[in-house]
Amino acid sequence: RKAGELIDMRLHHGAHPRSGATDVLPLVPVSGITLEECAQLARQLAKRIYDELGIPCYCYEAAAYKPERKNLAVCRAGEYEALPEKMRDPDKAPDFGPGEFTEKAAFSGATNVGARDFLIAVNFNLNTTSTRRANAVAFDVREKGRPKREGNPITGKVVKDADGKTVMIPGTLKGCKAIGWYIDEYGIAQVSMNITDINATPLHKAFDEVCRAAQARGLRVTGTEIVGLIPKRCLVEAGKYYLAMQQRSAGIPEEEIIRIAVKSMGLDDLKPFDPKEKVIEYMMEDEAELALREKLIRMTCKDFAYQTASESPAPGGGSVSAYMGALGAALGTMVANLSAHKPGWDDRWKEFSDQAEQGQAILKELLSLVDEDTAAFNGIMAAFGLPKNTAEEAEERKNAIEKATRYATEVPLRTIRAASKAFPLLRKMALEGNPNSVSDAGVGALAARSAILGANLNVRINAAGLLDRQYAKQMTDEAAKMAEIAIKEEMEIINIVNDKINSL
């Protein structure tokens, strides 16, 4: 609405293809919704935009009414300047709009409303001011490629097929559209690209290919500019890709993997790159809610210890058990990372990297249980604080206490299950990891066992308060069995560690 009021398309000129003041409006499934559902909503939205604002709308990609309009370029063909003619042609007219070029359409242009999977809009910075050179690189890599010509590849006659259509020489990247342009603000030319299929062409693959094509033409890519938001997995995949190129372990925190991606592709070349402002998953997070949910694990070690020592009953043994388990997994992960980068062990870096990644997953799960255990305890306290002045209130209070107690029993059981996953990693690191760090694997086993035995105590004491005795027994039996296994696992790993140390 606001763009249609403020931007007069009759006076607008730009380098990027556009149909109207609000050029594209894609609905993208992030979570809890399918692409098909987004397509239905996009069609409803396009109709509403025309009905309420009088702005003509084309539906594209998954929302397209016509097969050819799955390609946004078809909807946008001829750009704003072609709208008067297109709106009079039934085959080219908008899906929602008048059969003529009205005053409103002249002012606002047309809007393309669609539904699609994630699309990455990215610009690759070049060390040139030449739009022509940038276009050459764009044509080299974009899926559509460039027209085939007779003789001179630049000025020669365009080759046509039997149907009179231009014969194209395809580019090297699937699911990519690209053009070259010059940006006054930066004083450089860029290859501007839309990656419409991030599975066929990940961001790092596009970056490397543009670098290759640019170098072949005597140019260099100096960095990358992400336009809008980007899915987190694209940066994580890129970071892991560049770590693998270095034969370095990917079993490091997610933030560090993303930092590697940023530096590898020069995402901070033109301006600082803040993942909190560019990664869609981070943008969707409620920081205040997240800070509350991670209150304990955001503390320093010192503050957490003092908070535990205070007169407050939480955090207590459950949270401490989860944290001990996290430290046990962390030690196993550390040994794996040290082994992956040990001189002379380069042929095994991938093996240890995979182990370190598994350790990071266990570590992350256990860290989340540190705060969740305290939250579960607080839930019991809140349930006991409910009023019981009437029979109805007393019944509601009893049910709330049962529900909260059940949850508070399940959380330490999850801690036991998670910490148990650390033993295979710790055993392998004790047997095959860097021998200089074998003691760390041993301490990790001690921490994992302590986490499980501590969490078992929490399962037992919380289960004692459950009215559902069958479910209580089911949980305590599982916890007790896993505690016995943990004691055995820890003893076997410690024996391995002692033998290794004694042989030094």
Residues annotated as catalytic (active site), given as ranges: 16, 373
427 near 492, Cβ under 8 Å? Answer: yes
Length of the chain: 504
Structure-block tokens of residue 291? 């800070």
Say how far apart CA 147 and CA 467 lie, in whole Å. 76
Phi, psi for 19 (deg, rounded to 5): -110, -25
Over the Cα atoms of the chain, what is R_g? 30
Q: Are 315 and 373 in contact (CB under 8 A)?
A: yes
SS3 408: helix
Residue 388's DSSP bridge partners are none
Q: Is 381 exposed, middle or buried (0-12, 13-18, 19+ CB in 10 A)?
A: exposed
String of DSSP letters for 10-76: GG---SS--SBSS-EEEE---SS--HHHHHHHHHHHHHHHHHHH---EEEEETT-SSGGGGSHHHHT
Write phi, then psi, for 119 (nearest 5 degrees): -120, 135
Backbone torsions φ then ψ of 58, nearest 5 degrees? -105, 145
Question: 10 Å Cβ neighbour count for 11?
Answer: 7
Query: Within its chain, how far is the Cα of 220 from the centroid?
Result: 29
Q: Which residues contact 89 (CB under 8 A, 6 or more apart)?
A: none
Place of tokens 């929602």: 96
Compute φ and ψ for 276, nearest 5 degrees: -65, -20
Tokens of 194: 């839309």
